[in-house]
Amino acid sequence: MDQDCYKTLIGSAVAEFKEKGSRFIAFTASVETRAGAEQLIADIRDQYDDATHHCYAYRIHQQTGLIAKSDDDGEPSGTAGRPILHVIESKELTNVLIVVTRYFGGTKLGMGGLMHAYSTAAALVLDSATIITRFHTDSVCIKCTYPQLNPVLKNVEAFHVSIQNAEYGEKVVLKAVIRKRDTRSFIQSIIDQTGGQVRPSMEFV
């Protein structure tokens, strides 16, 4: 996968199957932060508070790089969380959480059986989800006077920049999102076309 883009999900999905009496409910969703993933995990624990296990894995892109976490939640080490994470990685997905909730059915599955069951649940729920390709982006703040706005907007259009917020006071303040690979060129183009009078910033003020 190109480092400029990544595959993720739209929304969420749920899938379920049974193995030797045990019921496996798999949930997946797109997540942007570790905190967001942990909150969803907590919500699922609350929703199925009588379940035996809530095993999960997530993979999230941050400014410092990819983070990945998995948890067996009481199942034998390596039989649940890691197989779930492997399914996410095998499909090259990012910013994705999968939680597999298990209701024990009375028959032990063994190490191999557990690994198969959790990976199957993860694969099933991803088959039910909508996978899309997104681009890594940067947030840029542009402050300019009204006479300077025209060249700024020409660059916004040329670089296919998305304006998230616009404030029109004594000056115009635009909060924009741009594809990461184009950020430097976009900023430099505005600087050049305004004679250095407008210098977009990577930090919002």
Say if residue 85 is in the same domain as residue 35.
Answer: yes
pTM to 2 decimals?
A: 0.76
Could you give the count of Cα atoms lying within 13 Å of 127 in the half-sphere of its Cβ?
8
Range of the domain at 45: 5-134
Same domain, 120 and 142: no
**C-beta contacts of 72-77 below 8 A and 24+ residues apart:** 75/102, 75/114, 75/118, 76/111, 76/114
Read off the pLDDT of residues 180-201 as tens digits, 9 standing for 90 and up: 889 999 999 999 999 999 999 9
Per-residue model confidence as pLDDT tens digits over 120-129: 999 999 999 9
CATH number, domain with residue 159 = 3.30.70.240
Q: Are residues 24 and 81 in the same domain?
A: yes
